[in-house]
Structure 1
Amino acid sequence: MAKKHVLGIDIGGSGIKGAPVDLDKGEFATERERIPTPEESTPEAVAEVVAQIVEHFGGDIAKGSPIGITVPAVVHHGVVRTAANIDPSWIGTDADTLFTERVGRSVHVMNDADAAGVAEMHYGAGRGNEGVVLLTTLGTGIGTAMFMGGELLPNTELGHLEIDGHDAETRAASSAREREELSWEDWAERLQRYYSHVEDLLWPDLIIVGGGVSKKAEKFLPLLHTRAPIVPAQLKNDAGIIGAAWQAQHLG
């Protein structure tokens, strides 16, 4: 009899991606399915796409197993409180209940950076670290996830710290480098200011850098000088799906 797996789904601004996850190995059990995010990405419209992905993988996921879902937003006790890259109508939506009712399974919804962090802590660059670990995702904005003793402190939103009169992510995100056509050296100066400020506040034992730009970590990480080791994430774009599945399974 084929082994059944836990489904993780990652809701992004351009695409909704899902895959069954082998939680023993921390990897996809089959090739992922991707469907474009609806142009009007209301909760109801997104729930329909999520239902399609659940149906697509129906035979590959364990009967009665929960589903983990990420959204680019603060999620407080299952309720979405912000809306980045999704429709503003998400704010105030009880996402856990919405998806659970739509797909007929227990669903756990969490912030996308938190999900990526969970994956890195259990299967990637943070594995085995019991100290204070900070994961940052450098993309359109700066997502963050914090851990102490391997436990997640959810919804930290440290990309929105005000530094030198600016919302940090508007100057230090990967999108700022592209928008302003900054050299790697000039961008690294902004990252240095950001990470120095965060280190002075939190004193992490390890900093993990994720997001698509982490594939080019050799171009900018060696230019940074931090007290804590700063390393690239290992699970790349799979992290959100894997972390969401792990969290859903372990929260029951």
Structure 2
Amino acid sequence: MNNKENIRTLSVDIGGSGVKAIVLDITGNPLTQRSRLETPQPPKPEVVINAIKTLASTQGEFDRVSVGFPGVVRNGVTETAVNLDPGWIGFDLATVLSNRLSKPVRVINDADMQGLGAIQGLGVELVITLGTGFGSALFVDGKLVPNLEMGHHPFRKGETYEEQLGRAALERVGDNKWNRRLLKAIATLQRLFNYDSLYIGGGEATRIKSQLPTNVKIIPNITGLLGGIALWRD
């Protein structure tokens, strides 16, 4: 491996609709252009890993790999994958991908990785991601509260946050109604977590048209990749 200052991290974001990759320097700044492939269908582990390998081959040299995955991750093993395929349940993604790329790999929930790229490390900070599903991450003074998976908690009308605010709901009810639901969710989450800051990311954050409270900030989609450097801060 290179000396520490020259270590390059391949950061990968696995989503329900796209798999993205970029190479970061030791401080987390991009060294390459982001590349993206449509998430293969059906999104079983083997075909998604092949997509990552293809993306990696376009990104030049790297020394290690960070992966954001849409589900609960424990010690590199994916435990849930609501928006991918049941084949991911109990799948040791870190080990399998490390063997395929011949590099050390660390895996974390995708919203957690997005949060690591966004937070200031002050007080209670909540991150939600609006994409195929509804991701969430909670940080207290910069420390992650693991495995929140709030998207599958009840929200309103007998439905979860994901059922009310995921991509399928957005396409079904349209921008205006979805934006009204989002404002209700923000108000509910403020009461629930009493957060100091809320960050909203994900591919559908561009559809937000509402006036947001002053402690709520929209973050760019690339934040999900930029957070990859934090997985190696030991």
**TM-score w.r.t. structure 2 length?**
0.86
Structure 1 residue runs of 4+, over 4 Å off?
1-4
Aligned to 2:13: 10
Aligned length: 230
CA distance in 1, matches of 2:83, 2:188: 26
Residue by residue over 1:27-69, the C-alpha shift from the partner in whole angstroms, topping out at 9 and shown as x without a partner, is: 321112223333232222222232333333343x2xxx32101
Q: Which amino acid aligns with 1:248?
A: L
Equivalent of 1:248, from 220, 228, 231? 231
After the TM superposition, which residues 104-123 of structure 1 pair with which residues of structure 2 at under 5 Å, given as runs?
A: 104-121=102-119
Identity over aligned pairs, percent: 34
Aligned to 2:40: 38
The DSSP-based 3-state class of the residue aligned with 1:241 is: helix
Indicate how the Cα distance of structure 1 residues 241 and 136 shifts in structure 2: closer, same or farther if over 3 A, else same. Answer: same
The DSSP-based 3-state class of the residue aligned with 2:68 is: strand
Equivalent of 1:153, from 145, 155, 164? 145
CA distance in 2, matches of 1:141, 1:11: 12
CA distance in 2, matches of 1:182, 1:30: 33
Matched, 1:132 2:134: no
CA distance in 2, matches of 1:212, 1:31: 18
Aligned to 1:22: 25
CA distance in 2, matches of 1:200, 1:215: 25
Quote the offset at 1:159 in angstroms: 1.8
2:71 and 2:149 in contact (8 A); partners too: no
Q: Runs of 5+ in structure 1 lacking a partner? A: 122-126
Equivalent of 1:232, from 218, 226, 229? 218
Quote the offset at 1:4 in angstroms: 4.8
Aligned to 1:172: 165
Residue by residue over 1:66-97, the C-alpha shift from the partner in whole angstroms, topping out at 9 and shown as x without a partner, is: 21011211112211111133221011111111
The DSSP-based 3-state class of the residue aligned with 2:83 is: coil
Matched, 1:73 2:71: yes
2:32 and 2:59 in contact (8 A); partners too: no
Quote the offset at 1:146 in angstroms: 0.8
Of structures 1 and 2, the one scoring higher in RCO (CA 8 A, sep 6+) is: 1
1:6 and 1:66 in contact (8 A); partners too: yes
Equivalent of 1:91, from 74, 89, 92? 89
Q: Runs of 5+ in structure 2 lacking a partner? A: none
Deviates more, 1:171-180 or 1:100-109: 171-180
CA distance in 2, matches of 1:52, 1:39: 16
Indicate how the Cα distance of structure 1 residues 103 and 117 shifts in structure 2: closer, same or farther if over 3 A, else same. Answer: same
2:175 and 2:207 in contact (8 A); partners too: no
The DSSP-based 3-state class of the residue aligned with 2:190 is: helix
What is the RMSD of the two structures over their aligned residues, measured on CA atoms? 2.4
**TM-score w.r.t. structure 1 length?**
0.81
